[in-house]
């Protein structure tokens, strides 16, 4: 009660209360016939408790007060009570017990203070270490998730928020179920827990469409405390590799483009002269045609390689893809001499995307020409579909033809430079198209879950989709 009132300092309140206990028990001793009653030993409990509570500061002082009170009680009883035999020897022994208990309480209090100070310092060190770890994790350029044994995300960094869009449930961490936000990662985690040596291919995330490599690290060997999941964004790494590759290609093209194109121009000019004189000299026209065809093919390769060196020069513009694609299809069908009924544009909403107009035209030209080459060339053989992605934050363009699609064994190679299945192709069309998409913060992928040819572009939107 007195402690709650806060009228005096704690040590003063404790001293007053213990002195009151000493006075009370001294009176009880006098009323009970002295030390023979055994009530004096009860003060040992009060002195020990006071010594521990006061952390040893008042223990010896209170023991001396108790000793003086005990001796005064014996003297007063001797003077006032008839036939009373003072027991000073027993009082001395009890006083020694008071001081022994007080000293022991003092030593225990000192040890407690040292332990408390050490625990405080360790707590500060742990807090600092935790803060440093948090700063390091937050600054990592890869997603970090801490998942418990029940599949609930207990901790995550900002990069994981970006990849998995976890901000929507930031106020309710108990609802962050890994299977709800990333079922593919949850399935991989379950498989990995069954076989920790299992390796996985790269994964395209649903929310951000980022290409990531998944790594799992158990907090304990038996997974009882959960698992740390690392999501390494391969797009960033690939962008760095692309920069190195483009720098090498740039140096290569700068050195050899001039040396190659000049001889090609001379060969082409000589072939044209031969073609003019073939009637007089009876030259085989097939030889001239072979020279011209291969000269044009080499010249196209040089142009495509030069285009690679210029792919990072982008001037993005805000455009409506539906209107843009309509105008593109008119031009494409007119130039390529294709019936416009072959292409069907399917869309009901208006979207805005950010993309370089010339580069988008080059990408669509390449994809539509591939679709026309492999489709059945009937009305509606090529479907061009505009829609939003599953998270509603990006615009998705699908180009689907009714052809046989890409051989599953060649899917991983179609975007490699100089890989082609067409006669006379350079193998740079799809490669350049993907590079141009990445320049505009977009992506180009081939969808394998279709029985026909299916390419998909994920655009970078200038504003949320409606």
What does the pLDDT read at residue 5?
Answer: 55
Mean predicted confidence (pLDDT) in 350-360: 86
Q: Cα–Cα distance between 443 and 242 in angstroms, integer?
A: 14
Q: Cα–Cα distance between 175 and 153 in angstroms, integer?
A: 8
The answer for residues whose C-beta is within 8 angstroms of residue 95's C-beta and 6 or more apart is 63, 66, 67, 70, 71
Query: How many other CB atoms sit within 10 Å of the CB of residue 403?
Result: 19
Q: Cα–Cα distance between 210 and 239 in angstroms, integer?
A: 12
Instruction: Please tell me which of 91-95, 149-153, 312-316 the model is most confident about, judged by mean pLDDT.
Output: 149-153
pLDDT for residue 273 is more than 80: no
Q: Cα–Cα distance between 70 and 87 in angstroms, integer?
A: 11
What digits encode the pLDDT tens for the residues 8-57?
576 677 777 778 877 877 777 777 767 667 677 777 777 777 777 766 56
What does the pLDDT read at residue 368?
Answer: 92
What does the pLDDT read at residue 71?
Answer: 79
Find where tokens 């890409």 sit: 406
Helix (H, G, I), strand (E, B) or coil at 219: coil
User: Can you list the positions of beta strands (E) in 198-302?
Assistant: 203-204, 211-218, 227-233
Q: Cα–Cα distance between 95 and 182 in angstroms, integer?
A: 73
What does the pLDDT read at residue 426?
Answer: 65
Instruction: Please tell me which of 239-248, 294-303, 451-460 the model is most confident about, judged by mean pLDDT.
Output: 451-460
pTM given for the model = 0.49
For residue 65, list its beta bridge partners: none
What digits encode the pLDDT tens for the residues 43-97?
777 777 777 776 656 777 777 887 887 778 777 777 777 666 767 777 777 778 8
Helix (H, G, I), strand (E, B) or coil at 370: helix
Tokens of 204: 């395209």
What does the pLDDT read at residue 343?
Answer: 92
In 310-348, which residue ranges form alpha helices assigned H by DSSP? 321-336
What does the pLDDT read at residue 110?
Answer: 78
Find where tokens 């991983």 sit: 412
Find where tokens 């803060």 sit: 131
């Amino acid at each position: 009660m007195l402690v709650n009132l806060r009228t005096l300092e704690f040590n003063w309140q404790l001293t007053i209360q213990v002195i009151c206990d000493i006075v009370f028990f001294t009176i009880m001793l006098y009323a009970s016939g002295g030390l023979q009653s055994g009530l004096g030993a009860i003060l040992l409990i009060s002195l020990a408790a006071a010594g521990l509570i006061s952390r040893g500061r008042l223990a010896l002082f209170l023991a001396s007060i108790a000793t003086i009170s005990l001796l005064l009680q014996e003297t007063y009883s001797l003077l006032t009570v008839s036939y009373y035999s003072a027991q000073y020897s027993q009082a001395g022994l009890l006083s020694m017990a008071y001081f022994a208990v007080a000293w022991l309480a003092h030593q225990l209090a000192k040890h407690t203070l040292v332990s408390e100070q050490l625990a405080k310092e360790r707590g500060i060190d742990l807090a600092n270490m935790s803060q440093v770890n948090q700063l390091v994790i937050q600054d990592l350029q890869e997603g970090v998730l801490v998942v418990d044994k029940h599949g609930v995300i207990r901790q995550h960094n900002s990069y994981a928020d970006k990849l998995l869009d976890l901000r929507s449930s930031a106020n309710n961490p108990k609802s962050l179920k890994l299977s709800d936000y990333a079922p593919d990662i949850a399935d991989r985690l379950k498989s990995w827990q069954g076989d920790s040596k299992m390796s996985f291919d790269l994964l395209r995330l649903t929310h951000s469409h980022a290409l990531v490599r998944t790594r799992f690290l158990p907090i304990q060997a038996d997974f009882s405390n959960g698992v740390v999941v690392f999501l390494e964004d391969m797009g960033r790494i690939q962008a760095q590799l692309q920069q190195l590759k483009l720098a090498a290609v740039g140096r290569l093209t700068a050195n050899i483009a001039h040396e190659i194109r000049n001889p090609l121009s001379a060969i082409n000019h000589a072939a044209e002269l031969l073609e003019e004189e073939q009637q007089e000299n009876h030259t085989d026209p097939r030889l001239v045609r072979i020279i011209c065809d291969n000269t044009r093919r080499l010249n196209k390769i040089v142009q495509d390689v030069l285009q690679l060196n210029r792919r990072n020069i982008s001037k993005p513009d805000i455009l409506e893809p539906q209107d843009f694609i309509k105008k593109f299809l008119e031009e494409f069908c007119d130039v390529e001499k294709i019936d416009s009924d072959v292409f069907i544009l399917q869309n009901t909403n208006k979207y805005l995307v950010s993309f370089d107009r010339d580069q988008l035209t080059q990408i669509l030209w390449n994809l539509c020409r591939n679709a026309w080459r492999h489709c059945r060339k009937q009305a509606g053989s090529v479907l061009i579909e505009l829609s939003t992605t599953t998270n509603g934050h990006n615009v998705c363009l699908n180009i689907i033809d009714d052809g046989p699609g890409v051989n599953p064994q060649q899917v991983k190679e179609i975007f490699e430079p100089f890989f082609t299945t067409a006669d006379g192709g350079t193998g740079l069309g799809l490669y350049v198209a993907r590079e141009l998409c990445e320049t505009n913060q977009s992506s180009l992928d081939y969808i394998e879950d279709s029985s026909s040819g299916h390419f998909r572009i994920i655009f970078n939107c200038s504003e949320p989709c409606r």
